[in-house]
Structures are given as C-alpha cells and as structure tokens.
Amino acid sequence: MKTELARLALILLLSLSTVPGYPTPAISAKTGPHTLEVIALEARQDLRTLRLNFPLDPLLAEGGKVYFLVERKYLQAIQEFGYSFTLETARFEQTGEKLLRPGTKIQGGLNGAYHSYLELGAELKSLAASYPDLARLYVPGKSLENRNIYALKISDHPGQSEDEPGIALLGGHHAREWISVEVPLLIGRYLLENYEREARVRDIVNSAEIWIVPLVNPDGLEYSILNYRLWRKNRRLNGDGSYGVDLNRNYSYQWAYDDLGSSPVPSSAVFRGAGPLSEPETEAVRNLFQNHRIQSAISYHSFSQLILYPWGYLDQPAEDESLLQSLAEDMAGLISQVNGRVYQTGRASALLYLTNGDFADWAYGFFRTLAFTIELPPVDLLQGGFLNSESDIDLIFRENLPAALYLIERTIASYSGSAARLSPFLRRELEKDDESMVIKRPGAAFRGKESR
C-alpha cells in the first residue's frame, strides 16, 4: 500500500508534466499552472540568488542535491541565469497508470481515508455532539471562500474558560499535507473516546484546555483534492493573477524579515502575502490565541520527520532554547519508541531552512507559547513525499500520540496561573491588539460556536 501510494505521489508529480525530457521545445498551449517539472541542483553552490528570482518549491535535499518543483516555463531562464540543473521528472515516471486529468472522475475517491473539508466538519460536529461534557466546537474564523476554520475545545466544562493551561494542536496549514489534518484530529478523538477508561487521559482533559484545529487551510485542501494534489497555499487571487498566500509565512512576528525565509513574489510557493496576517485563515488562528492563553502548541506539517522549534527567521537561539530542545528531544524519543522512526530535532532555521512569518515563531514570539513544528513522515520524497498511504494514517497518529500527551502533561505540570508567562512587553502588545479589535472589529473574536 505504501509503495502504491508512493508511486501515486510520483505519478501525480509526473501528471503535471506530459513532456518528459529537457530541453523542451516551444511550450505553446502547455503553460497552465500544472506544467511542472522536478529539477535537481548541486547543493554546494549558493542557491539564494536563484531562489530569490524564481518561484521554486523545495521538495527535498538528497545526495548533495536539492530538488525543486518548478513551472516548466522558467527552465530556460534558470539556465540562462547561469544555473545548471538536471531534469528529474522522468526519474519518477511510471508507465501504464491513469493520470489525473481534467474530467477524470475523482469525487469520493481521491481523498480516500483522508478527510475532506465536509467530512472533517461532520466528524468534529459528531464528536462535539457525542461528548457534550468534554468537547465543544468553535469557529474562530472563516476562510477566504467562506469555509469554517474549526477549533474543537476539549476539556472538562468545555463551555467555560477555566484557569487551566491551553494547548493547541494545529494542522493543515499547507493544502497538500493531508496527513497533518489527520494527526491532530485523531489525537482529539482519542482523548474523547478514552476519557472514561484511561486515568491518564482523564487527568489531562480535566486539567487542561486542548484546542484541536486540524485544518487551517480548508480552501487549499479542497483545491488539492479536486484540482491539483500538490497545491500548498491558500486560494487568494493575487494582484498579478497568480493564486495563493503561504499561510505559514503570513503570521505577524518578523513577517517579511528577509526574502529568504519567505518571498515577496506572489507566484512563489512561499509568498508571504500583502501584509502580516493579511489572510483570514491566519487571522482565525490569531483570534484563538488572543482569546485564550495557549501555553504550548504543535503545528503539524509533512514531510521530513523533524521536530522544529523557534527561531525560524534567523539562526539564533530563542530565550527558552534549552527547554524547547529538551522537550523536542523527549518527544522524538517517545515517537521512536512506537514504530522506530527517527524524527530529528532542532532549531527550525538551522535544521530545515530559514522561514519568516511562520506559526511557531509567531506563537512563541508574541505569546511565549512553547511552539513546535512537527514534520510528519515520510522522511523524503522518494518514500512518498506529501502522499502518505491510507494505512500510514493510523501508524503516524499512533507514533505521535505519546509525544502530544507528554507535551500536554509537561504543560500542565509547569502551569502557574494565567498570564504568568507573558512578559510586560507582550502584555502591552496584547492589550493594544485587544483594544483595536474591540473598536474596529466588533464580534471579531469568536463568531460563536457552531454546535455543541
């Protein structure tokens, strides 16, 4: 199954391009958004200039090379720019498979065991209805296309705000990372289903307020299911006619710090948006954090098997780095005990690449939330990349469950009352924000719960 899905990943990559081999002749009618190629460049050279000038979507680094997904129309210009690359699209080619083409009947099949937006909404409503004393469903905001951004609150007395530590588990910032939606959802479901029979779960739920936000980017997910599997961003129509803002570059802490950790070019895969928190999806997350003190958080992504912590915007230690590092190492240890898979840990900027405007820097920078980014399996593109098999859902959830429970327990153990962790500076900033929200955006806080 895994092999099959890995093959599907490659086919999908491939299906974006029907002309194998390079150089390609006049591109003519093929210049849609789906004419993508995979190229590889030597990692030893300075790729910064290249990445500043072309919308390259990094896929993986392997064997001294960096692989990028790029629109075919840029290939010639990249070469003329002085960079040599090898075209790797054909390496992933499989024959005899039905490719995803416009008009292919895909309804109900493509997302398989993974949740679409509607399926997720139905599941969350059903959980809230089944466990009215433990869960309540909120909608802290809506997407550009008016879909709900759901936040399932799990706690005893879920309708009240108690003086308990808040923990947020988020997923689905990036449309193509379907597994990142399933993991927080399944952790939430596990807490509810095991509350009665497991003392450990009961203690956790009684002592904390856990926010499950499985799908920050519902418009992108729908587009990924129905149109283009490898879509990453939201569905903002940008000024230049391209689509999408990278929601994980749109948060307001050190937004646009430089052009390496995010891009000012709208067609880039890491376009940061027209302004900090310009997107309603990131604003929904902000509403949640502004209305509830969240002490720790995990933002799930895929792929690479990494546990990252701030800073991402520059390669410098955060004030709490030793704590962040030890929590990350402990979580990685718990994960490896389940299926033996190794998740590397480290400062985001050092271990992966520079990112500015991402969720973890923002949550830590503004709220001192101990915020982690977990890049779920697989470890690389050749193991399936963004497409995990259906049978991997449960495995990946199971291996991440102990780490999430551990972080919640550590958060509970170190909790010393509301606002205790806020620095005076942050408190001032928050008060300012609260005021402007009240004045300019009445009702912008929670728009009310969606169902019980």
- The catalytic residue positions are 375
Backbone torsion region of residue 105, taken as left when φ is above 0, otherwise alpha when ψ lies between -120 and 50, otherwise beta: beta
Q: Which is nearer to Zn ion, 111 or 248 (CB)?
A: 248
Q: How far is the CB of 24 from Zn ion (least distance, A)?
A: 30
DSSP of 191-217, one letter per residue? Answer: HHHTTTT-HHHHHHHHH-EEEEE--S-
CA angle 317, 321, 326 (to 5 degrees): 145
Which residue is closest to Zn ion by CB? Answer: 301
Q: How far is the CB of 174 from Zn ion (least distance, A)?
A: 4
Q: Which is nearer to Zn ion, 191 or 363 (CB)?
A: 363
User: Which DSSP state fits 218?
Assistant: H
Positions of E strands within 246-359: 294-302, 306-309, 344-347
Candidates 290, 260, 266; CA nearest to 278 is 266
Q: How far is the CB of 299 from Zn ion (least distance, A)?
A: 8
- Cα 57 to chain centroid, rounded: 15
Q: Which is nearer to Zn ion, 295 or 302 (CB)?
A: 302
Q: Which is nearer to Zn ion, 177 or 392 (CB)?
A: 177
Question: What whole-number distance in Å separates Cα of residue 151 and Cα of residue 214?
Answer: 8
Contact positions toward Zn ion, by CB under 5 A? 174, 177, 301
Q: How far is the CB of 302 from Zn ion (least distance, A)?
A: 7
Positions of E strands within 367-430: 370-376
Q: Which is nearer to Zn ion, 69 or 87 (CB)?
A: 69
Q: Which is nearer to Zn ion, 174 or 249 (CB)?
A: 174
The residues, ordered by sequence, that sit 6+ positions from 80 with a Cβ below 8 Å of its Cβ are: none
Neighbours of 260 (CB within 10 A): 15
Q: How far is the CB of 235 from Zn ion (least distance, A)?
A: 16
Inter-residue contact 339 to 395 (CB < 8 Å): yes
Q: How far is the CB of 199 from Zn ion (least distance, A)?
A: 35
Torsion sign over Cα 258, 261, 265, 266 = negative
Question: What whole-number distance in Å separates Cα of residue 333 and Cα of residue 330?
Answer: 5
Radius of gyration of the chain (CA): 21
